[in-house]
Amino acid sequence: MEILVPARPRTRTAAVVLGALAVAASLLTAPGPAVAAPAATDPTPGPAAGTEGGTEAAAVEVLEEARDVLSGDPQGRDATIVLHDLALAAGDLPEDRFGEADRILARPTDGPRDPLGNGYGPNADPTSTCGVVCVHWARATGDAPDLADGDGDGIPDHVETVLATLTSIHDTYVRAGYRTPVADGNRGGNAKTDIYLADIGSDGLYGYCAPDDEPTRPAAPAYCVLDDDYSRAEFPANTPLENLQVTAAHEYFHAVQYAYDIFEDGWFLESTAAWVEDELYDGVNDNRQYLRQSPLAQPSRSIDDGSGIRVYGSWIFFRYLTERSPAAQGGLPTIVRDMWRKAAGNARRTDPHSMRAVAAVLAARKMKLPRTVARFAAANRRPATAYDEGASYPVAALAGVLRVGRRDTRRTTTRIDHLSSSTVRVQRRGSMGKAWRLRVAVDLGPKVASPAAVVTVRTKSGRFQTRLVRLGRSGRGGVTVPFGSRAIRYAEVTMVNASRRFDCFQGSYFSCQGAPRDDNQRARLTVSTKKATRYSR
């Protein structure tokens, strides 16, 4: 499938846009089984952020990247993200390149104005049909879908399927209480959101959504382009209908997101879009391909890491939240909708960035962010029992193993970045007996950095018992749990840094494109065994 957009500072600095450019790595190859992805580089600001020359240079780089992607040379980038970035950066381009950006952002029906090959050719004979959206297609050339018309109404059966699919998706979002996409005036013939069918699958593209112009306010219109047929030859992993369904759900959700804030953080835009496609079409499971770069597989990377495919992988965080807070409206959990409402832009541009919105909505549901992130990280060590479909998910990796015997003490120290975790397993060394206890003590740094920890005891019967470690102001705390019984296999200590403090608009891939204030926090763990003076069941 496609996918979209990085965050944008409230000021028009293309260098910051460039910093978020890697927010979405390419899904530009045909879907298939997830494979191990290369390690992402550390997020860094764009060139010369904050200087006039650097801003212009960054905008030019965005422009040239958009040319590469849409001319069939993706180089690890996604179509929607670069078009979105280009629209945001266009105002910082040199005057002599304004027209080039305008042509790249052209719609397929602009034909020759689009020099990169996605415009319909001169003999395409484009036409459209409208309902809640307008679907445009070509009647000739390689962009034409299957033109079979079983009911003889002049509209190809495939086009009717696309319109019916989009209508169902639109109606679901409306019933769930989401905003409708912003009207685009008379572009495309009327004010309705325009969906274009084109042969983009031959370039490895599932679809994309893009603004027409440089946005001047948070709520902005968009148009979307979907592949004309999703043929098995181009997209073999799912059926053509399944690929259409999840791509349309994902892309149209971007148009809905733009109605809240087109400048919002990329990880939030993409991970919630990847989440919602699974909510609407749960049986397709196309978004599982992103789990190999997600908090499940990479617990030491931040939840709001918007680099590479990781920008999609954090959909699992929202799956976790909706399974714990399942209250729904119109068939969709309300918690994600409420986060978008909280994150919505306004004329003063004082809206909270994504993670602040997430924390605020969790707090309203009595789910404090540090504890929630800690329980989420611990759950990712046992997805088969923690998620409805977790048997098919990867398991979060351990950071290490400590083995303790009787009257034994072991220590370890690690470093944890914001919104990430580290889990250490503790195992018995030798036999102990039921009366032996495990004392877990942690020192996670100042409470202002939002640390948290949980201890999970795993029994041989397959049960898990989780205890939250209460921390003082200094970030120190401890808990004692049963450990010596043969019924207990091991204990695991999950330590998290749930900080959401940033210096915003620094060109990073994180929330508010900010520089995290609390990365690399030192976490000390001490475990010791002792025999209870009195054992009771």
Treating both helix axes as pointing N-terminal to C-terminal, what angle do 266-280 and 354-364 enclose, rounded to 10 degrees? 50
What is the amino acid identity at position 16? Answer: V
Structure tokens at 476: 């120190």
Pairing relationship of beta strands 436-443 and 521-531 according to DSSP bridges: antiparallel
513 and 505 Cβ atoms separated by less than 8 Å: yes
Phi, psi of 130 (to 5 degrees): -125, 145
Residues belonging to the chain: 537
Distance CA(422)–CA(81), nearest Å, equals 31
- How far, in whole angstroms, is CA 399 from its chain's centroid? 24
Q: How far is CA 92 from CA 14, 17, 182, 207, 347, in A?
A: 6, 11, 25, 27, 22
* Residue recorded with tokens 């948070």: 218
Contact 432, 535 (CB under 8 A): no
Entry pTM = 0.86
Nearest C-alpha neighbor of 239 from the set 249, 248, 231, 228: 231
Q: How many CB atoms lie within 10 A of CB 336?
A: 24
Closest listed residue to residue 29, CA positions, set 309, 292, 248: 309
Domains of the chain by residue range = 14-367, 398-531
Compute the Cα dihedral for 14, 19, 23, 26 and give only its sign. Answer: positive
pLDDT tens for residues 199-230? 988 877 888 888 877 788 899 999 999 999 99
Q: What is the pLDDT of residue 21?
A: 31
CA-wise closest residue to 514 among 3, 153, 10: 10
CATH topology of domain 398-531: Jelly Rolls (2.60.120)
H helices of 365-518, in order, are 369-379, 383-386
Which residues make Cβ contacts (< 8 Å) with residue 170, sequence separation at least 6? 132, 133, 180, 252
135: which strand partners? 129, 195
Task: Report pLDDT for 39.
Answer: 35
What's residue 101's pLDDT?
77
Nearest to 230 by CA among 240, 217, 215: 240
Separation between Cα atoms, residue 535 and residue 435, nearest integer Å: 6
Residues 6+ apart with CB under 8 A from 52: none
pLDDT in the model for residue 79: 67
Q: What's the confidence (pLDDT) of residue 80?
A: 66
DSSP 31-53: P-S--PPPPPPPP---TTTTSHH
The pLDDT value recorded for residue 482 is 94
> What is the rounded distance in angstroms from the CA atom of residue 112 to the CA atom of residue 122?
8
Mean pLDDT by groups of 10 residues along the chain of 537 residues: 32 29 31 31 34 67 76 55 74 82 78 62 92 96 95 96 98 98 92 94 85 83 94 91 97 95 91 96 95 95 91 96 97 98 75 90 97 98 97 97 96 98 96 93 95 97 94 96 93 98 90 95 97 62
Predicted confidence at residue 115, as pLDDT, reads: 47
Do the Cβ atoms of 31 and 274 come closer than 8 Å?
A: no
Reported as type and span, the H/E element at residue 516 is strand 515-516
Q: Which amino acid is at 156?
A: P
